[in-house]
Amino acid sequence: MVSGIGIINGCMIIISGFLFWSFFFRLNDVKFVFLNLFRHKRRSLSALAAIMLGGSAIFLYGGFIDYSFWLLKEQTIRTNIGHVQVYRQNYFDTANKNQSLIENYQKLKADILSDVRFLGEISAFSGQLEFTGIVSQYESATSNYFSALGIEPFPALKLGAFDKIVSGSDLSRIKKDEVTLGSGLANTLGAKYGDWLDIIAVNIHGGQSAISLKARGIFSSGIKEYDDVMIKIPLDTAQRMMETGGVNKISILLTHDDIASFTQKLRKYISERKLPLIVKEWSTISLFYSEVESLLSGVYFFIKLLVGVIIMFMINNIINMNIIERTREITTLRAMGLRPLHVTRLFVLEGVFIGFTGAMGSLALGFLISSIINHHGIVMPPSPGKTQGYVAFIKNDTISLAWMTFIFPVVTATLASFFPAMRAAKLNIADAFKFSQEG
């Protein structure tokens, strides 16, 4: 993918150099080609219309998937994952997560937050303790399996920003005996705001821990499997239940998107102190995001390929028609001493002009349509595995998208004109004169 973009950019540099050279050193050729475009206005306009429709389709769909990627990224990061996560080295090598706890969490947190190299980069920092068990609601005489996430209430406001509270409120920083639970789990238990829940779990020592906690709120993430089992518990309460002061992992939300730079500094910090910890970026642990990105990128590539083929056929057909109709003109120029390379250059320049004009029209049309769409948005159905739909928009402020929309028609139109131009240059003068006289 990256190499393909590099090739297209390289072609664009060559085409731009050719165009500037023509303007500065072959201005008569430029005038000649420009006037020829208006000799067959209907044909030129049909080519421009095809390029503009194809280019604007690339722009609109590219903007749509850019917005979809951004939204999915934010949903992933802000469902208590964060931009960066820190684990104990053996976390992914053992099924018993109680054996891979990060000890002395509070000291580690204070040291990292006070380190000057991380100042201004961390928006939220929270340890998380995961465990499972059975939750019961006495009044409805119902029990169900649950998966609990012990998290610090204040950082959770940012880390869990995409978990929508549908009843009650989020975790309290003061009341440690109150929890929030997923909407699916609440429906199964028949629990509502203010109900008491009995929770039983096995602590890290293998003993049984039980506690009664009050339902402070009910949330919905839009992911059914998550909402059907999840309970959020204040980290202090979770640690008391599990009889530990450690955490399974640390989630860090950044103030910027330069995740690689922060990850590198954090790994250096861990290495300097010889801590038995590893650092993971959010994208490496979110398989769903990677799969969706691969799928939509594949569809986008197919659309660009389809548009490119349409543009190439249109330009190829137009140049060929021009060559047939201007056979006498071409042979006359050849007879007057015009070299074959010069003839080739004239027709390639014609394709370049059509490509540049169509590219500018594609951008203008794409921006216009996307602005109209963004005024109201597009109501989308729930994605696979989710229970909530969303309103989609066209992300039209991406420089890379505008650049791709511009260079794609230019490059394809230029390449499409190259082969007919070579054919025109190879016309036999005597045969061409005979053909034009018979015509």
Whether residues 267 and 120 share a domain: the answer is yes
Whether residues 365 and 388 share a domain: the answer is yes
pLDDT at 3: 57
Whether residues 383 and 349 share a domain: the answer is yes
pLDDT at 71: 84
The H-assigned helical ranges of 115-228 are 153-159, 183-189, 224-227
The three-class DSSP label of residue 196 is strand
pTM of the model: 0.76
Q: Which domain holds residue 265?
A: 84-282
Whether residues 95 and 229 share a domain: the answer is yes
Strands 196-202 and 122-137: antiparallel
Whether residues 47 and 192 share a domain: the answer is no
pLDDT at 199: 92
Whether residues 211 and 111 share a domain: the answer is yes
Whether residues 172 and 99 share a domain: the answer is yes
What separation in angstroms does the CA of 220 have from each of 7, 198, 247, 369, 387? 45, 21, 25, 34, 9
pLDDT at 279: 92
Whether residues 241 and 303 share a domain: the answer is no
pLDDT at 369: 93
Domain stop point among 259, 282, 305 = 282
- C-alpha 91/C-alpha 275 separation (Å) is 14
Q: What percent of the chain has pLDDT over 70?
A: 94
Q: How many domains does the chain have?
A: 2
> What is the tens place of the pLDDT at every residue in 197-249?
999 998 888 888 889 999 999 998 878 888 899 999 999 999 999 888 889 99
Whether residues 262 and 324 share a domain: the answer is no
Q: How many CB atoms lie within 10 A of CB 358?
A: 27
In angstroms, how far apart are the furthest CA atoms of the chain?
102
pLDDT at 271: 92
Whether residues 136 and 199 share a domain: the answer is yes
pLDDT at 372: 92
By CB atoms closer than 10 A (0-12, 13-18, 19+), residue 143 is middle
- The tokens of 210 are what? 């039980």
The three-class DSSP label of residue 132 is strand
| One-character DSSP codes across 264-315 | HHHHHHHHHTT-SEEEEEHHHH-HHHHHHHHHHHHHHHHHHHHHHHHHHHHH
Q: Torsion over CA of 30, 31, 32 and 38, rounded to 10 degrees?
A: 110
- C-alpha 398/C-alpha 396 separation (Å) is 6
- Among candidates 160, 143, 164, which has minimal Cα distance to 151? 160
**What one-letter code names the amino acid at 162?**
F
The number of C-alpha atoms within 13 Å of 127 and in the hemisphere containing its C-beta is: 24
Domain stop point among 234, 253, 282 = 282
Query: What single DSSP character describes residue 386?
Result: B
pLDDT at 27: 83
Whether residues 149 and 247 share a domain: the answer is yes
- C-alpha 29/C-alpha 349 separation (Å) is 9
pLDDT at 125: 93
pLDDT in tens, the chain (439 residues): 555 677 777 888 888 888 888 888 888 878 877 777 777 777 778 878 888 888 888 899 889 888 888 888 888 888 888 899 999 988 888 777 777 888 888 899 999 999 888 988 999 999 999 999 999 988 878 889 999 999 998 888 888 877 888 888 888 888 888 999 999 999 999 888 889 999 999 888 888 888 999 999 999 887 888 889 999 999 999 999 988 888 999 999 999 889 999 999 999 999 998 999 999 998 888 777 777 777 778 888 888 788 778 777 777 777 777 777 777 777 776 777 778 788 788 888 888 888 888 899 999 999 999 999 998 888 887 766 666 777 889 988 888 889 988 988 888 888 888 777 777 777 666 555 555 455 4
Whether residues 417 and 350 share a domain: the answer is yes
Domain stop point among 260, 282, 304 = 282
